[in-house]
Structure 1
Amino acid sequence: MAGRPKIFDEQEAIQKATEVFRNKGYNTASADELLDAMGIGKGSFYLAFKGGKQELYVRSIKQFAEGFNQKIGQAIEKTDNQIELIRQFFLALADAPDCDIEKGCYLGNALVQLSEKDEDIKKITAELLKGLQKIFAKSIKKAQENKQLKTKENPEILAWHLTNLWNGIHVTRRMESSPKILRSMIEMNLRLLE
């Protein structure tokens, strides 16, 4: 016997759970809040997520990471000035009033909160950072070839610098919320892209 069929969309349910995790954090999000947001019962939940809340969180991070990288990659591919789009992406981080879903801080927070505590989350967040780095490296290399950048620095290293900046901003935002300070810090780092 195959068991009862799923009567809910897993991706949609995970997306709804992501909002709860994003707003409350992994440790604070209760099972009842997650089930209410997802619109499913305990039985359906444990059939789909045998590892419980932790499996749901891991899948939430993975789904979010894939969507985040895809969205950034597509935006960069569609623009004529990829470096300017990257600059604006970073500068927007300084002005975001809170944990803006479009800026990826859900992932940045996951990196800080749980990546050292759980091997699966550590692997997923490492893959996210590698994916982001590859997007940046491709854009930098293309811009260098098209003479849109003066720098002769290795595109791979510059891309890791940007990835580190993205990650670091999410950590710094926890301590310093001044858009002016954040913007100055970001602008100083982005001078490498001239």
Structure 2
Amino acid sequence: MAGRPKIFNEEEAIAKATEVFRNKGYDTASAEELLEAMGIGKGSFYLAFKGGKQELYVRSIKQFAEYFNQKIAQAIENSDHQIEFIKQFFLSLADAKDCDVDRGCYLGNALVQLSEKDESIKKITAELLKGLQNIFAATIKKAQESGQLKSQEDPEILAWHLTNLWNGIHVTRRMENSPEILRSMIKMNLKLLE
């Protein structure tokens, strides 16, 4: 017996749960709030997410990461000056007022929370960060080859630096919200992309 068929769109339900996690955080998001946002009952929830709230959170992060990486990769690809686009992307993080979808802070914050849960989840977070790093590395390599970027540092290392910067900004923003301080810090780090 295969069980009851799903009568909801998992991707849409996960996106709705992501909004709850984004606004409340993993620990404070209640099961009731998640079920209400997703528009499903407990039975359907546990049928689709056998690992409960933690599985939903992991799937939320994965889905968000895929969307975020796809969106940033496309935006870079469509840009006339890809290194300048990356710089502006980072500088825009200094002025973000809240957890903006386009800047990926939900992902950055969630990776910090997830990496503390257990070893298997830590591996998932590493894979998600590797996706962002791959986008940066490919862009840097292409910019070096075309002469848009003078630096001949290893593209992989520069990309890890950017990934670390992206991660660090989201952590630092929790303690320091001055756009001027954040912008100065970001500009200093971006000098490697000249």
CA deviation map 1:76-106 (0-9, x unaligned): 1111211011011101100000111211111
The residue aligned with 2:8 is 8
| Match in the other structure for 2:117 | 117
Q: Note the residue ranges of structure 2 that are not aligned, 5 or more in a row.
A: none
Q: Deviation at 1:117?
A: 1.9
2:166 aligned residue: 166
User: Which residue of the partner structure matches residue 100 of structure 1?
Assistant: 100
Partner of 1:188: 188
Give 1:187 shift. 0.6
Match of 1:40 in 2: 40
Shift of 1:114: 2.6
The one-letter amino acid of 1:51's match is G
The one-character-per-residue Cα deviations of 1:123-148 (angstroms, maximum 9, x if unpaired) are 22111111111111111111111111
Q: Which residue of 2 aligns with 1:143?
A: 143
Q: Under a length normalisation based on structure 1, what TM-score does the superposition of the two structures give?
A: 0.97
Q: How high is the sequence identity, in percent, across the aligned residues? A: 84
After TM superposition, the structure 1 stretch with the greater mean CA deviation from structure 2, 92-101 or 106-115, is 106-115
The offset of 1:118, in angstroms, is 2.2
Query: What is the CA–CA distance in structure 1 between the aligned matches of 2:101 and 2:54, rounded to whole Å?
Result: 21
Q: State the aligned residue count.
A: 194
Instruction: Compute the displacement of 1:120 (Å).
Output: 3.5
Check if 1:29 corresponds to 2:29: yes
Is the deviation greater in 66-75 or in 34-43?
Answer: 66-75
Matched residue, 1:63: 63
Partner of 2:75 in structure 1? 75
SS at 1:144's partner residue? helix
**Unaligned segments of structure 1, at least 5 residues:** none
